[in-house]
């Protein structure tokens, strides 16, 4: 047991294997990987980077890698034991996608890892399969765009149900472009905490620390780190920034919050958007944050304290009518709803293989309930903003259409009338925010709509 633990803590490949098996059993990749890496602060930065690439890269391209392995495996992939399959995937991913690792090293390290894990019985399988991949790459016959469903499923590494959906919604070309961008490593995007620093000042600090950064195109407080890693700048003050995608930064702006407003975020944790609202109003709005889970509210409170954001929190299940406040208490309400996460698959790669068509239907029902209960807290003349990171129409435009049908005291508001000119391309014909990674400066896919309560 001690030997196995030592292997996990000292080698990138063993760390990746350990995390991937945990993810296969239901863990979240970011939490599992961060937990292991934080336990070994002495681990070389190159090993950390390799472990991260192996975990996230392989989870994004699992369907792609399995298609390749199927050309070499003597038995169906689904029938391989879990340990052998993950080790094969690790070896194959290195052979195919990590050019800086010599092929013989990728094979040798995979076989040695199996031995160190006490899996001597499968070393022959690993060695034979991976070496055949090296010798006979021509075995793999990729489907072309002429067979678009197979092309998206195998070449673009999408679950088949999602490939079918995107083909229907976007067509072959756009579905392919979107799928390709969601296979890439997402940018390191930061929101500058304007309560304590300007964007120009923060970029200067990044550059002084040896990092290269540029302003985001749309969000006025966003920064993209183009070269270098934050961990290489330990003196950078964590009070000055929040990790947040640019699309997510747009949501707080859409609330159009003013000093003196009463604001409620009903699904607030971990708090990126809530603390952003506080920054936009310079802490001059009364902001309340609700969440179902007390532990997640703790994360939000920690972020608010770090950033200097003044936010009040309460625990509540918004699937139930909220009795914490009188009806109509807030003139700004945000429902950043739990969703399928289909727009952020590059950031949460295991969701690619966990989500199902049934999840989309189930979540749409939940979202309708959350939106309806939140609506009761909007004051006459107040604004209700609904947002989420999905590409599914059932969770976005259909939820809004259903809401307007049942709540005639609300009207749809065209967000294009309230945003800068350079943002206009981010909205559909109804004035709803619809961002796509492959179209809009590498942002996540987001949806948002505004609903005004009549006076």
Token representation of residue 303: 């972020």
Token representation of residue 413: 């508001």
Token representation of residue 60: 């994004």
Q: Among all chains, which residue has been given the structure tokens 């890269």?
A: 57
DSSP 26-72: T--HHHHHHHHHHT-TTS-HHHHHHHHHHHHHHHHTHHHHHHHHHTT
Kindly provide the b/e burial profile for residues 117-143, where b requires at least 16 CB atoms within 10 angstroms of the residue's own CB. bebeebbebbbebbbebeeeeeeeeee
- Reduce the DSSP state of residue 312 to 3 states and report it: strand
- Rounded to 10 deg, the angle between the 82-97 and 12-24 helix axes is 130
φ, ψ of residue 448 to 5 degrees: the values are: -150, 145
Over the Cα atoms of the chain, what is R_g? 24
Sort residue 392 into left (φ over 0), alpha (ψ -120 to 50) or beta: beta
- Catalytic-role residue among 197, 339, 389, 445: 389
Active site residue 445: no
Q: Are 158 and 166 in contact (CB under 8 A)?
A: yes
Token representation of residue 240: 């000055």
Instruction: Report the catalytic residues.
Output: 389
């Amino acid at each position: 047991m001690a030997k196995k633990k030592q292997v996990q803590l000292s080698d990138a490949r063993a760390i990746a294997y350990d995390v991937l098996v945990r993810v296969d059993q239901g863990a979240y990749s970011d939490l599992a990987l961060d937990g292991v890496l934080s336990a070994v602060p002495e681990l070389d930065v190159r090993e950390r980077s390799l472990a991260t690439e192996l975990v996230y890269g392989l989870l994004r391209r699992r369907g792609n890698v399995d298609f390749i392995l199927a050309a070499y495996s003597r038995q169906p992939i689904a029938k391989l034991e879990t340990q052998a399959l993950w080790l094969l995937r690790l070896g194959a991913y290195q052979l195919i996608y990590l050019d800086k690792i010599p092929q013989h090293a990728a094979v040798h390290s995979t076989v040695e890892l199996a031995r160190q894990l006490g899996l001597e019985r499968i070393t022959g399988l690993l060695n034979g399969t991976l070496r055949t991949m090296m010798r006979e790459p021509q075995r793999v016959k990729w489907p072309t765009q002429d067979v678009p469903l197979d092309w998206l499923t195998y070449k673009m590494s999408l679950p088949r149900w999602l490939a079918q959906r995107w083909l229907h919604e976007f067509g072959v070309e756009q579905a392919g472009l979107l799928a390709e961008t969601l296979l890439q490593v997402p940018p390191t995007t930061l929101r500058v905490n304007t309560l304590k620093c300007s964007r120009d000042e923060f970029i200067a600090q990044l550059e002084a620390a040896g990092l290269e950064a540029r302003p985001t195109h749309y969000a006025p407080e966003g920064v993209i780190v183009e070269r270098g890693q934050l961990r290489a700048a330990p003196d950078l003050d964590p009070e000055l920034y929040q990790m947040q995608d640019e699309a997510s930064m747009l949501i707080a702006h859409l609330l159009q919050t003013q000093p003196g407003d009463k604001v409620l975020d009903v699904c607030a944790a971990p708090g990126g958007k809530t603390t952003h609202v506080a920054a936009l109003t310079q802490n001059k709005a009364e902001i309340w944050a609700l969440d179902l889970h007390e532990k997640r509210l703790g994360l939000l409170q920690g972020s608010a304290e770090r950033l200097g954001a003044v936010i009040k929190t309460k625990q509540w299940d918004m699937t139930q009518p909220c009795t914490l406040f009188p009806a109509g208490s807030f003139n700004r309400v945000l429902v950043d709803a739990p969703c399928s996460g289909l727009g952020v698959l590059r950031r949460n790669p295991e969701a690619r293989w966990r989500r199902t068509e049934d999840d989309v239907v189930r979540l749409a029902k939940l979202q309708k309930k959350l939106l309806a209960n939140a609506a009761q807290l909007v004051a006459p003349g107040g604004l209700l903003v609904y947002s989420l990171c999905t590409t599914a129409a059932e969770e976005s435009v259909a939820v809004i259409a259903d809401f307007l049908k049942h709540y005639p005291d609300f009207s749809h508001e065209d967000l294009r009338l309230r945003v800068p000119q350079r943002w206009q391309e981010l909205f559909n014909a109804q004035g709803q925010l619809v961002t796509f990674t492959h179209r809009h400066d590498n942002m996540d896919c987001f949806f948002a709509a505004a609903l005004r309560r009549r006076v």
